[in-house]
Amino acid sequence: MVSVRTVVDRVGPTLLHAVHVPDDCPAVADVVIAEPGSPGHVAAGDLVLAVAVADAGEATELVRGSAGNGAAAVLLKPPLASKPGIRRAARTAGIGLIEVHSATSWAQLVWLLRTVLDAIADEHDTLENGDDPAASDLFRLADAVASVVDAPVTIEDTNSRVLAYSARQDLTDPARVATIMGRRIPDDVLARFRSRGVFRELSRGRQTIFVPAQRDGTLPRLIVPIRMGGELLGSMWAVVSGPVPDERAAAFADTAPVVALHLLRRRAHADVQRRASAELLRALLRGEVGPRKAAAELDLTDEPHRVVVVETPGGETLDGEGLRLALLERISQGIGRRPVAAEASGLLYAIVPGEDGPGGWPELRAALDEVPSGRETGALRAAAGSARPLGELASSRAEAEEALGLLRSGVLPGRVVCFDEVWTALALHRAATAAGTARVTELGPLGELRAHDAAHATGYVDTLYEWLRHPGDPRAAARALRIHPNTLRYRMRKLLDLVPLDLDDPDVRLALLTQLIALHWS
């Protein structure tokens, strides 16, 4: 149910003014153009456009006839809408009376009114059916807005990506053509607009922003921010020949709420789709869904994939799925294929092709390496599991989480690792975990060495560990301990005086190394 007041509010006060709207005014169903002297084609709920009405008598007859057919409102241009006789007729008949700005094109108004009705009436059905209304609707809306401002228009999101564009783009400049071809403003053009303060003005809530022509041949732009509830959703960019008359600029700005409605619908649809995909992805990572369904619904190929887990720990951790997806948006810029991703338990999980190629692990790894640590990302860490078939991604997830655990504990250096490349550390960690469970460190003389270190700060346990790690190479062992080789030899003599150890016996050395690995890697 769409009310007359809702339609008037969405189109905007520059184009429409509600002269009279009764409390029991019928809901709006459609837009029709009145035929003089023949209101019979008007149906219940219609918005009747008095396109060819020339005098007050015809207007009064149209108002009464439309009311008799159950129409919602009649739209008239001045001065007819404000004439007392016509207003009395509307009040008596119980029909809405709307004044249309005198400079408004009826053709433009038909476009805008039908766009508003489609957007409002179909919103819930669109979400329930899972259809994506954005593509065709936004392009039609771009054409309608272009007719209002009489210039080619693009509709862009807050990242300067082109969501839709109107016809007549061939009459623009190379910067606009490059924007359309690349579906976003080119970096060099973006930098020029940014240096002129365009995006700063957009964030400040200006109604319209005029950017003069530039020396490189870039034509002037008239820019309108698209907002809803104080939030910046995007912007509209019109390529104009020069300064635009105030009335036309205001009419252009008044289309922004209509576009905002479409962008909100687009976002709502994307949110529904993303939540469904995220839940399917979580099920795939838990091994609860078959690879065929995952491949079909997540648009995954049959090739082996890796699970990548991303963490931003500490007080500056990303808070919530939306912000984690914003991080993914940032790290996937320039990647050939956007990763399939979902948030779970405070971590971001992504699935990418395992080897080289568009959107593969090497590309994502390079993007992750380039993300600086800061207030938004914190101390970012990421780990990838091994490349596996889709049916085995639960194992790849476990591997990625295990590698991330070693990064988190400081056992592995850096911020980004791959499971396949750190197998030695993983083997030692698993061995240490098993040895710790078996309480192997409680056996033999190791306890006595640990107690002596605790009491006298002698460092005998670390000395023995490095000596065993570098057999026959005391200089390498000393470098690892950051001491002189003679100091290493002295410590070894003293610890052997303290506990009797036959270090010539390979089994003794192996047993001691197993104990010391359990201490250092657990």
CB 391 within 8 A of CB 351: no
The torsion of the CA quartet 502, 505, 506, 512, rounded to 10 degrees, works out to -20
Backbone angles phi, psi at 414, to 5 degrees: 85, -170
Question: Which mean pLDDT values do the consecutive 10-residue runs of the chain (522 residues) have?
Answer: 83 83 89 70 88 88 92 93 93 94 78 72 48 62 89 89 82 82 79 87 85 88 88 91 91 89 76 74 86 80 88 51 55 61 82 79 82 60 91 92 88 88 85 82 87 90 90 90 92 90 88 85 71
DSSP-derived letter for residue 27 is P
pLDDT of residue 119: 63
Residue pair 404/303 in contact by the 8 Å Cβ criterion: no
What is residue 49's three-state secondary structure? strand
What local confidence, expressed as pLDDT, does residue 120 receive?
A: 66
According to the model, what pLDDT value does residue 317 have?
A: 40
Question: For residue 319, what pLDDT is reported?
Answer: 44
Is the previous residue joined to 79 through a cis bond, with omega within 30 degrees of 0?
Answer: yes
Instruction: Return the structure tokens found at 17.
Output: 């003014």
CB 353 within 8 A of CB 360: yes
Dihedral (CA of 161, 166, 217, 201) sign: negative
Whole-angstrom distance, CA of residue 48 vs CA of residue 321: 46
Q: Are 61 and 45 in contact (CB under 8 A)?
A: no
Domains of the chain (ranges, CATH numbers): 4-114 (3.40.1390.20), 122-267 (3.30.450.40), 288-421 (3.30.70), 438-521 (no CATH)
Query: Helix, strand, or coil here: 469?
Result: helix
**Owner of token pair 């400049």:** 173
